[in-house]
Amino acid sequence: MISIVIGEKYYNKDPQSSDLGRNIVSTAVELLDELGFEQFTFKKLAERINSTEASIYRYFDNKLKLLVYLTTWYWAWIEYLIDFKTYHILDSEEKLKVVLKIVCHVDESRGSIDLDGLNLGALRRVVDTESDKTYLTKQVDEINSEGLFTGYKSLCHKIAVIVSDMNPEYKYPHALISTMLEASHQQAFFAQHLPSLTEVSKGDERSIDSQVYDFLLQSVIKLIK
Amino acid sequence: MISIVIGEKYYNKDPQSSDLGRNIVSTAVELLDELGFEQFTFKKLAERINSTEASIYRYFDNKLKLLVYLTTWYWAWIEYLIDFKTYHILDSEEKLKVVLKIVCHVDESRGSIDLDGLNLGALRRVVDTESDKTYLTKQVDEINSEGLFTGYKSLCHKIAVIVSDMNPEYKYPHALISTMLEASHQQAFFAQHLPSLTEVSKGDERSIDSQVYDFLLQSVIKLIK
DNA sequence: CTTCGTTGATAGTATTACTTTCAATTTAAA
DNA sequence: TTTAAATTGAAAGTAATACTATCAACGAAG
């Protein structure tokens, strides 16, 4: 039994320390998935869990911070999966393939898996659609100076190291990986909502996830070599 | 003297048809640049131009639609520049280079250029930071079905055609170009606010814009061949 | 001279994003 | 076992947001 632990700078009171806290987090994921970040409010969340706005504010300053907490949890989980599934792999290229599969959710068992009581399918959709909003705000520098983006940075760096390992001459390992991580969301989103922006297609016999994987793997490998 | 014309589905009343309308649009760009989309309101805009909320609502349904209008204007302008600067070029690779230069704002004369009374520097920053919010919302499908994303789609397609021209075998022209267009914002943003996510650096002797251009050009060319 | 269209001014509503206070209850410590 | 501390719920309040509606003043066009 594993558990993702998130540092205290993300919240006022550790949501993992109480039933109410865990309930706030897991219900927030589902409500964000249903309503989207803009329509999501602490009031609605409070109603859903039969609690009050004031109680939720005791855990999180505001909904942006809650979103930052959730995305950090998500990236920490991805990083855990990477460590777990690649620690025995020696070949860098093989390692990179596994990493991209994890990032693109290829080979993932269907249905809504739960970990720490979180609906991972919903969390993934929330991250796909909303995670960019954690930094596309005038508060970026403030949030960043509090160290709240270290989860994403750490993941990006971990993968960039594999890239540098494959080709120490390659000039843009971090730029490449941040671009690819973003593309993994975007291409899946475009396939669903703006299909003319991508060849990745809902109608294809292969899943969207494996098409995105195909696109990213092919791109990354070719660029590094 | 040229002028970018935006279709009527984007507004209730054509902002180009009156002083007030033009003032709304040009001041909106500056206010969005200053405050960011979340803090920007029609009330604040009305105060800045000594008008009223009600008057602004006569032009635009809400601030999302205004943002969609502005990004559409921006992409239309980029597309105009592409047509203008590449129509005499026969070689596809040469064409693509020019296109990427335009997209990355390389060779652009410094200072805040004005076109149609718009502060293009501010508009560009707004597009870099806020444009993703036009589609990362639960209203995507609705907005898309009204045809309001055709500007971006058309630009993406225009560049994808050049890619297909260079290599008809390449499988992902649209996916590649949408990824690169997004990366052109992101990498510039990361260099400014989250520098550990990219090798593009403020401290470099070359401008951020030309570093991003270098990264994108090198990537795109290598992937197509 | 009249009518239409545009804008400004004012007011009003429901919702959001919080903060504050207080009482009830549960938990943990002495 | 009592006592104090921490947690939550309940209720109320505030300033701002995202609108909508009404009406009067004004200028331009017929």
What is the overall mean pLDDT for chain A? Answer: 95
Residue with the larger pLDDT of the pair A39 and A115: A39
Per-residue pLDDT at A110 exceeds 70: no
Q: Report yes or no: B118 and B25 within 8 Å, Cβ to Cβ.
A: yes
Model confidence pLDDT, tens digit, residues B88-99 = 999 999 999 999
Sort out which chain B residues have CB atoms less than 8 A from A153's CB and list them.
Answer: 194, 196-197
Rounded to whole angstroms, the Cα distance separating B16 from B29 reads 15
| Integer Cα distance of B106 and B108 in angstroms | 5
Helix (H, G, I), strand (E, B) or coil at A114: strand
A 105-164 residues with CB < 8 A to B? 129-130, 132-133, 135-138, 140-141, 144, 149, 152-153, 156-157
Residue B166 has pLDDT above 90, yes or no: yes
Task: Give pLDDT, residue A158.
Answer: 98
Asked if residue B107 has pLDDT above 90, the reply is no
Closest CA of chain B from A121, distance in Å:
17
In this model, does residue B115 exceed pLDDT 90?
no
A22 backbone dihedrals φ, ψ, rounded to 5°? -65, -35
Q: What percentage of chain A exceeds 70 in pLDDT?
A: 98
The pLDDT score that the predictor gives to residue A63 is: 97
The model's pLDDT over B197-219, given as tens digits with 9 standing for 90+, comes to 999 999 999 999 999 999 999 99
Which tokens sit at A48?
């859903």
| A106 vs A98: CA distance, rounded Å | 9
The answer, yes or no, to whether residue A117 has pLDDT greater than 90, is no
pLDDT of residue B110: 67
Q: Is the dihedral of CA A99, A103, A104, A108 positive or negative?
A: positive
Q: Across all residues in chain B, what is the average pLDDT? A: 95
Around Cβ A17, how many Cβ atoms within 10 Å? 11
Top pLDDT among B225 and A133 is at A133
> In the structure, what pLDDT confidence band is assigned to residue A59 with cuts at 50, 70 and 90?
very high
Question: Does pLDDT of A168 surpass 80?
Answer: yes
Our CA-based measurement puts residue A181 at a distance from the nearest CA of chain B, in whole angstroms, of 11
Torsion of CA B84, B219, B125, B114, to 10 degrees: -20
Determine what percent of chain A is predicted with pLDDT higher than 90.
Answer: 92
Instruction: Provide the pLDDT for residue A27.
Output: 97
Q: Around B184, how many Cα atoms within 13 Å sit in the side-chain half-sphere?
A: 24
CA distances from B110 to B9, B120, B121, B207, B211 (A): 33, 11, 9, 12, 17
Contact B138, B156 (CB under 8 A): no
Return the structure tokens found at B117. 């009374």
The predicted model scores a pTM of 0.95
Using pLDDT thresholds of 50, 70 and 90, give the confidence band for residue B134. very high
In angstroms, the CA B137 to CA A168 distance is 40
CA A70 to the chain's CA centroid: 8
Whether A111 has a pLDDT exceeding 70, the answer reads: no
Q: Which protein residues have Cβ within 7 A of any strand C atom?
A: A 39, 41-44, 53-54, 57, 61-63; B 13, 18-21, 50-55, 58
Q: What pLDDT was estimated at residue B73?
A: 96
Question: Where does residue A116 fall: left (phi above 0), alpha (psi -120 to 50 degrees), or beta otherwise?
Answer: left
Q: Check residue A166 and give its pLDDT.
A: 97
The H or E element that residue B3 is part of is: none
How much is the average pLDDT of A167-171?
97
Stretch A194-215: mean pLDDT, rounded?
97
The residue behind tokens 């990824």 is B179
pLDDT at A212 > cutoff 90: yes
> What size, in residues, is chain A?
225
pLDDT at B22 over 70: yes
The C-alpha atoms of residue B104 and residue B214 are separated, in whole angstroms, by 10
Separation between Cα atoms, residue B115 and residue B4, nearest integer Å: 9
